Amino acid sequence: MPALRPRPAVSGVPTVSGVPGSGADDGARAGAPGPAGGANAGGAATPGPAVGSPERWARRAGVTARRLRPPGAGEPTLVLLAGAGLGSAFWEPVLGLLPGTHVVVDRQGRLGTHCHGLPALHTQAGILARLLEDLGVADGAPTVLVAHSMAAFEAELLARRRPGLVDGIVLVDPSVAHQPRLTPLLAVGAVRGRAPLAALGLAATRGLLKVPGTHRVVAALARASMRGMVTRPQALDSPAWQDTWTVSSLTGGAAESLAYSAQQADLLRSRALADGPVRVPTLLLQAPPYASRGRLASARRAFSRLVVREVPDSGHFMTIDAPQEVARAVREVMAMLDT
């Protein structure tokens, strides 16, 4: 399985695993790079793919999905969604353990794109659905979403809105949506997933990162925070994590974190309007500190076929601490698809 290693920047923009860096966030771009000297769909010459590059990739509105190799006949597709502030490097420790073909998703701010605002949950789910269609996911083969942390919101909403695209779900130490007693401060005045106070927070983050010398400090603080979520923090020093500490990635991660409360509120409203729970096999892995009984009860109402498993020796970054448990959960969900 190809590693998700950064390649040298082109014109100052990072590229990862053969995906060209681009500041353009509009439209979709799909198809593997052709042979050296070949042409893409628009007729422009494209370089030959790097060794270990994905076979196909697509981009819409700054969100990039990469299929790491062609699927075999009837082979399942795993769609890997990392949590807030994290990119596809998060999945690198577990790729070689997972069956099927893999689609990794990087949200706005990564792989040479820019974050233009707070990510609204319904918009993100719609973009993901279109990207999966661009890559031919679910064309006659089962699809399992593997979602970490806050990406659980997006996975659940996609399963509700586009059930034909989702056959199973694995939630990796997920954010468990629940109804708060009081409206969170960052969700006050939220309209269509965007809240004024959260937008102000993002504007302040942008301004801070423009101050000379501040980027390194913010990157160091982000790295220190993430190191506290994993029992093997040295894994974050891998070259695959290089893209995590750029200004654009830090901005995108801040936008995702600031959008948490509004996205949770949107998901809860979608549940209230839905015709019952998500009905596909779903396995929830949780690391200490475990979710409360109230939160788990909420999750069981949201997913009719939910299995919950505790992973006591892991931190929040479970793909690093317990990759074998993530792979085991994926295989178990796949075994449940026909039952």
Rounded CA-CA distance 175/295 in Å is: 10
184 confidence band (pLDDT: 50, 70, 90):
low
339 confidence band (pLDDT: 50, 70, 90):
low
Whether the predicted pLDDT of 26 surpasses 60 = no
Q: Which residue has the higher pLDDT, 36 or 108?
A: 108
Q: Give the per-residue pLDDT at 24.
A: 42
Whether the predicted pLDDT of 169 surpasses 80 = yes
**For residues 107-135, b (16+ Cβ closer than 10 Å) or e, as one string?**
bbbbbbbbbeebbbbbbbbbbbbbbbbbb
Distances (CA, A) of 31 to 38, 41, 54, 128, 131: 12, 8, 10, 17, 12
Closest residue by Cα to residue 152 from 102, 215, 81, 91 = 81
Q: Give the per-residue pLDDT at 43.
A: 29
1 confidence band (pLDDT: 50, 70, 90):
very low
Tokens 């475990």 belong to residue: 290
Q: How many CA atoms lie within 13 A of 76 on its CB side?
A: 24
Whether the predicted pLDDT of 138 surpasses 50 = yes
Q: Give the per-residue pLDDT at 22.
A: 42
How many other β-carbons are positioned within 10 Å of the β-carbon of residue 46? 18
Whether the predicted pLDDT of 66 surpasses 60 = yes
Are 91 and 115 in contact, with CB atoms under 8 Å apart?
A: no
What's the pLDDT tens digit per position in 258-307?
Answer: 999 889 989 999 999 998 999 999 999 999 999 999 999 999 999 999 99
What's the pLDDT tens digit per position in 73-128?
Answer: 778 899 999 999 999 999 999 999 998 899 999 999 999 899 989 999 999 999 99
Whether the predicted pLDDT of 173 surpasses 50 = yes
Whether the predicted pLDDT of 5 surpasses 70 = no
140 confidence band (pLDDT: 50, 70, 90):
confident
Q: Give the per-residue pLDDT at 61.
A: 94
Whether the predicted pLDDT of 332 surpasses 80 = yes
What's the pLDDT tens digit per position in 202-258?
Answer: 899 999 999 988 999 999 999 999 999 998 898 898 888 999 999 999 999 999 999
Mean pLDDT for the stretch of residues 191-211 = 83
Beta-carbon contacts of 178 under 8 Å, excluding residues fewer than 6 positions away, are 268, 294, 295, 298
Q: Give the per-residue pLDDT at 4.
A: 60
Mean pLDDT for the stretch of residues 28-41 = 35
Q: Give the per-residue pLDDT at 319.
A: 97
Whether the predicted pLDDT of 25 surpasses 80 = no
- For all residues of the chain together, what is the average pLDDT? 83
Q: Give the per-residue pLDDT at 3.
A: 54
